Amino acid sequence: MSINKIINVKSCNSEIFIGDEVFNVLKEYIRPYQGSKIFILVDENTLQYCIPELIIQIEYLQNAEIIEINSGEENKSLDICYQIWKTLSDYKADRQSLLINVGGGVISDMGGFIASTFKRGIDFINVPTTLLSQIDASVGGKVGVDFEGLKNMIGCFNEPKGVFIYPNFLKTLNKRQMLSGYAEALKHGLIKDKKYWLELKKGMLSDSKNWLKLITTSIHIKNKIVLADPKEKNERKLLNFGHTIGHALETYSLNNDELLFHGEAVAIGLICESYISTKIMGLSTTELKEISTTILNQYSTYKFEESDFHQLIELMKKDKKNKKQAINFTLISEIGKAHIDKKVTVEIILDALNYYNLVAKKENSSN
Ligand SMILES: NC(=O)c1ccc[n+]([C@@H]2O[C@H](COP(=O)([O-])OP(=O)(O)OC[C@H]3O[C@@H](n4cnc5c(N)ncnc54)[C@H](O)[C@@H]3O)[C@@H](O)[C@H]2O)c1
Ligand SMILES: [Zn+2]
């Protein structure tokens, strides 16, 4: 077994493995569970595109119980958790059982939450299969589900035993989903690493040779922040850049015709929150322009009306990251340097939403 080709990153109570040969390690990792029941959580796409490869590589997983749910953010819900807890119970899962989450962020967020709560907690492992989950959602131990139309309202912190990232799984992911993940990478560059931002700006998606570097750089940035502050008391809030407005837009879109993926909403959030950063943190307008142009060049523009702004503000007020009603932001003073706990007035947030509409319109008319 050539371990050299596997990148190993230590997290708090977990380990992350990245590379084409990670299943050699996974095979050993799950050996202790062979005497008990192993469950694999999938959706219809990961069942089709990822499970065959996994079973070729680890034959005895043929005996695992596969639990399939329908894909989509709308299924990251307590109703679906109920069904999965029931299945685990029907199949007599016990404290020694293992749940392997094979999928995107929906599967790892919900599967992690199910495992953390079933019989007060069983072990789980993440095998992330989307770019977003490979560079972000599968690590850091935030698990949970949406509730009453609000993102990630029910959940807890609990780390997987291990995370196994196999970049080749991205080959079946469509461009829109790849771009959704790319937004989190852009965020990582913007908050911590200008050099990485500049590389991303040039484009790292189209050539699969870049994927390993992309995944590894993002994982290192996220993991370092998580290690410093696992429960999000301080530094971990850096990772929320783009997400106060992003989450509001994502929730808003879930109740409207044109659905935004998580990373697409974050990409718009990055533009708006960079605009706010020019007003409050002294981010230069040159860097704001660089950020807006980079994002607008790659992502389709999204149409939301001025008449919906108040609804977005109400959603931001319900964000669980707020304290005492003030809307809380992470902002940047320059590319690569971020600051937490910045209070922003509704007026400036409205200006930021207007700014996005304006630059998006310009982008559309120039196409
Ligand atoms: N816990 C965290 O720290 C964290 C961080 C960021 C995002 N998130 C959460 O992650 C979720 C979004 O994750 P996502 O973007 O991975 O969404 P997702 O899980 O919905 O996956 C996106 C789509 O890709 C399909 N898919 C997955 N793997 C595939 C493959 N290899 N080939 C083809 N299709 C494939 C899925 O079936 C789905 O249709 C959101 O709920 C967000 O809140 C969590
Ligand atoms: Zn995110």
CATH number at residue 212: 1.20.1090.10
Q: Is the pLDDT of residue 220 over 50?
A: yes
Check whether residue 142 and residue 253 sit in a common domain. Answer: no
Does ligand 1 lie within 6 Å of residue 43's CB atom? yes
Task: Answer yes or no: is pLDDT of 112 > 80.
Answer: yes
Ligand 1 atom having least distance to the Cα of 146: 41
**DSSP H or E run through 278:** helix 262-280
Task: Clarify whether residues 140 and 196 are in a common domain.
Answer: no
Please tell me the distance from the alpha carbon of residue 277 to that of residue 334, in angstroms, as a whole number: 9
Does residue 152 sit in the same domain as residue 238?
no
Residues constituting the chain: 367
- Phi, psi for residue 22 in degrees, rounded to 5: -65, -25
Please tell me the distance between residue 125's alpha carbon and the centre of ligand 1 in angstroms.
16
pLDDT at 322 over 70: no
Distance CA 157, CA 226 (A): 11
Confidence of residue 256 (pLDDT cuts 50, 70, 90): confident
Whether residue 122 is predicted with pLDDT greater than 90 in this model: the reply is: yes
Q: Is 167 in the pocket of ligand 1 (CB under 6 A)?
A: no
Backbone CA torsion sign across 85, 88, 93, 99: negative
pLDDT grade for 67, boundaries at 50, 70 and 90 = very high
Please work out whether the CB of residue 76 comes within 6 Å of at least one atom of ligand 1: yes
Report how many domains make up the chain. Answer: 2
Co-location of 158 and 227 in the same domain: no
Q: Give yes or no: residues 188 and 275 share one domain.
A: yes
Share of the chain above pLDDT 90, in %: 88
Q: Indicate if 316 and 332 belong to the same structural domain.
A: yes
Considering every ligand atom shown, identify the ligand nearest to the alpha carbon of residue 181 and give its number: 1
Residue 19 Cβ contacting ligand 1 at under 6 Å: no
Decide whether any atom of ligand 1 lies within 6 Å of the 180 Cβ.
yes
Asked whether 142 lines ligand 1 (CB < 6 A), one says yes
Q: What is the pLDDT of residue 319?
A: 75
Closest ligand, as measured to the CA of 137: 1
Domain boundary among 127, 154, 172: 172
Mean pLDDT, residues 306-310 taken together: 91
Rg (CA), the chain: 20
The rounded percent of the chain whose pLDDT value lies above 70 is 97
Residue 1: pLDDT band (50, 70, 90) is: very low
Identify the residue whose C-alpha is closest to ligand 1 atom 6: 137
Tell me the HSE value of 176 on the side-chain side, using a 13 A CA sphere.
8
Atom of ligand 1 nearest to the CA of 133: 16
- For residue 121, give both structure tokens: 């907690």
- Shared domain for 168 and 205, answered yes or no, is no
Q: Are residues 207 and 246 in the same domain?
A: yes
- Do 204 and 350 lie in one domain? The reply is yes
Domain C-terminal end among 108, 141, 172: 172
Instruction: Ligand 1, residue 180: give the atom nearest the CA.
Output: 15
The identity of residue 199, as a single letter, is E
Mean pLDDT over the full length of the chain: 94
Decide if pLDDT at 320 tops 70. no
Report which ligand 1 atom has the smallest distance to the Cα of 144.
1
Domain with residue 100: its CATH number is 3.40.50.1970
What is the average per-residue pLDDT within 46-69? 96
Same-domain pairing of 261 and 226? yes
- For residues 148 and 185, membership in a common domain is answered with no
- Atom 8 of ligand 1, residue of closest alpha carbon: 137
Tens of pLDDT, residue by residue over 185-212, are 999 999 999 999 999 999 989 899 999 9
Q: Are strands 162-165 and 328-334 parallel, antiparallel or unpaired?
A: unpaired
- Closest C-alpha to ligand 1, atom 44: 137
Residue nearest to atom 4 of ligand 1 (CA): 137
Whether residues 105 and 238 share a domain: the answer is no
Residue 2 has pLDDT above 90, yes or no: no
- What range defines the domain where residue 82 resides? 3-172
| Residue partners of 305: CB distance under 8 A and separation at least 6 | none
User: CA 43 to CA 129: how far, in whole Å?
Assistant: 11
Is pLDDT above 70 for 283?
yes
33 in helix, strand or coil?
A: helix
Q: Is 105 in the pocket of ligand 1 (CB under 6 A)?
A: yes
C-alpha to C-alpha distance for 274 and 353, rounded to whole angstroms: 11
Choosing from 108, 116, 133, 254 the residue with most ligand 1 atoms within 8 A of its CB, the one to mutate for a pocket test is 133
For residue 141, what are the CA distances in angstroms to 12, 16, 69? 9, 12, 22
d(CA 331, CA 337): 9
Residues 255-267, buried b or exposed e (16+ Cβ, 10 A)? Answer: eeeeebbbbbbbb
Out of 172, 196, 223, a domain closes at 172
Report pLDDT for 3.
46
**pTM of the entire predicted model:** 0.95
Q: Is 70 exceeded by the pLDDT of residue 34?
A: yes
